[in-house]
Structure 1
């Protein structure tokens, strides 16, 4: 069994793992060799000396610890066994420490240069690296949500050679390569991820949308082939490419063009309104929009609104999602149908679940 494990490590491990395994096996073999030699040479001179005691002596001698609880008393024990054990132990210890140091440095270098295979799961993948500031803003928003505060984030891009120090400090991981490569996405462990953000490689350049489409299509293809759900959200530079992106069947699409233009007009009409929008779209303060499936099929939107208002939890029902239509402030007599989702304004998404259980008897009466 032990030899099978060792063979598996050597066959599948990288070069550093193989070297460490070999060094440890040599150390174990020498420990047995010198321990056995010490026992055979000293058992006649030291009353009560056991084989395990001899192995202990060999280990503390090879590692230069030297407790002194056992020491050779015969000529053979001193000069044939102990003397070589001193020399071999010092050399072996130095080699082992050098190998471990090299392995640590190599791992750090691979981690920073994006050459390592990601073994984490339930992590977030960000494809492309448009700018450090943009990625940091996304990190801030993700970590502002308690459910995502401790999730690992992996950057997949070939546009940088090393992960910036600011991201290393935040515990971000890096895979260097084109996100359009299945091999690279599997290196990022995409099938075990909690979701994928696909950012434009060159913000402001509408031609970046073609690359975004390609990445989104490949991720969705991997999802279909493996049967593992992968939540994917993409950012498009141009709204003209919206129909193209919809063919990739990603879970969400954000349009970057036109938002600033709309916001500046709204700010002109109602100065200061930007602060309201900023609070609604951040996880770091105030209330946010959430969507929830509901079991209150056949109920009037107005009745649901009234039940929510009367509940002590701070939550407002403000709209419905019917198929592809997102309707804010719908007609109060609108009936909630099967498959509809409620749009709510709340401090945290968990509030809705508690309210739904509380108001069910009221709506059923």
Structure 2
């Protein structure tokens, strides 16, 4: 008795569409095999009986097999009476499941099952621009957007919306944070600069706590919190306040409209900054010599990165050491 109760409980835990599918399959097999025994002349094989039961219950009714005896017709009537409701329930359940899944997707209630995805925290104009760039540069890359303000998901291919708080473990679990490739944390535009940075650092700590190896890029709005973000484990900092001021000052000094030039720095335009790692062939060469070598490979040498120190456009006589990485603009 206890074993049968466990079986029933286990059965009830299965999804409804699975239960209905099993019942419909049993009805088709049972009546298909039964009719082949009752009318062997009309249904020479069990497969013919099962084919007849399936076609009859689906209301297609090709008419290639028809019971000839009263008993056979009685079996057919019983099958229709018993099976029609289950078949209707089967298709209704499948339709309802599809609608629920679509609704869950739009409402951000799904769980992402993939891996190597890029996670974006917060939905704003910057995030929208990044999504457009990513889908252009890497159209097959899966993007998981975590945000608590959106009512419905942005309908963009390969973008999976997770509605919730990025500092909540349950939300991160639905984003499958453990299998993510990288995360980008944008500043909350609805908070003041100090509070926005504090919240971004809290998100960073949560991400790193769940997945310490996750490569995290964080946007900071104040210099004070930039230091704390680095302490919290940020792999890279985007200091928006500095970038914006630099571009504005450069535009003032140039006085020739550099806005279009800045837009060309978008990877989606075909240009991207890259850091070339240590290469034995580069050691001892001057900045001038390397510039000419890389130019033939459609790379423009911009600067040198030594540890945390960056040198943009160093003297042409600067010699590359083992500690130097090359910053290039590649097409």
Paired residue for 2:150, among 152, 160, 165? Answer: 160
Residues 315, 138 of structure 1: alpha-carbon distance in 2 compared, 3 angstrom cutoff? same
The answer to whether 1:213 aligns with 2:205 is no
Paired residue for 1:340, among 314, 324, 330? Answer: 324
The superposition leaves residues 253-288 of structure 1 with CA deviations (integer Å, 9 ceiling, x where unpaired) of: 111224333322222211135236514531132643
Paired residue for 1:30, among 27, 30, 46? Answer: 27
Aligned residue pairs, count = 320
- TM (norm. structure 1) is 0.80
Where in structure 2 are there 5+ consecutive unaligned residues? 1-6
1:150-189 alignment runs, 5 A limit: 150-163=140-153, 167-189=154-176
Q: Could you say which residue in structure 1 is the equivalent of 2:3?
A: none
- TM (norm. structure 2) is 0.88
CA drift at 1:23:
0.8
Question: Is the 1:266–1:273 Cα contact (8 Å) retained in structure 2?
Answer: no
Residues 191, 208 of structure 1: alpha-carbon distance in 2 compared, 3 angstrom cutoff? same
Instruction: Give SS of 1:99's match.
Output: helix
The answer to whether 1:144 aligns with 2:136 is yes
Instruction: Give distance in 2, aligned partners of 1:49 and 1:61.
Output: 17
Instruction: Give SS of 2:291's match.
Output: helix
CA drift at 1:160:
2.5
Q: Could you say which residue in structure 1 is the equivalent of 2:4?
A: none
Question: Is the 1:279–1:288 Cα contact (8 Å) retained in structure 2?
Answer: no
Instruction: Give distance in 2, aligned partners of 1:169 and 1:160.
Output: 14
Where in structure 1 are there 5+ consecutive unaligned residues? 1-6, 348-365
Question: Is the 2:220–2:237 Cα contact (8 Å) retained in structure 1?
Answer: yes
CA drift at 1:333:
3.9
The answer to whether 1:223 aligns with 2:219 is no
RMSD, matched Cα: 2.4
The superposition leaves residues 31-62 of structure 1 with CA deviations (integer Å, 9 ceiling, x where unpaired) of: 1221122122212xx16712222222212111
CA drift at 1:24:
1.0
The superposition leaves residues 169-220 of structure 1 with CA deviations (integer Å, 9 ceiling, x where unpaired) of: 4442111111011221121011222211111123662211111101112222
Q: Could you say which residue in structure 1 is the equivalent of 2:244?
A: 260
The superposition leaves residues 211-248 of structure 1 with CA deviations (integer Å, 9 ceiling, x where unpaired) of: 11011122222233xxxx32211111222211111111
Residues 204, 291 of structure 1: alpha-carbon distance in 2 compared, 3 angstrom cutoff? farther
CA drift at 1:319:
1.2
Q: Could you say which residue in structure 2 is the equivalent of 1:103?
A: 97
Instruction: Give distance in 2, aligned partners of 1:153 and 1:272.
Output: 37
The superposition leaves residues 77-108 of structure 1 with CA deviations (integer Å, 9 ceiling, x where unpaired) of: 002x1011122332222111110111011001
The answer to whether 1:128 aligns with 2:122 is yes
Instruction: Give SS of 2:269's match.
Output: coil
Paired residue for 1:308, among 274, 277, 294? Answer: 294
Instruction: Give distance in 1, aligned partners of 2:211 and 2:322.
Output: 26
Instruction: Give distance in 1, aligned partners of 2:181 and 2:72.
Output: 61
The superposition leaves residues 297-337 of structure 1 with CA deviations (integer Å, 9 ceiling, x where unpaired) of: 5322333234334x3x3222221100000111223343433
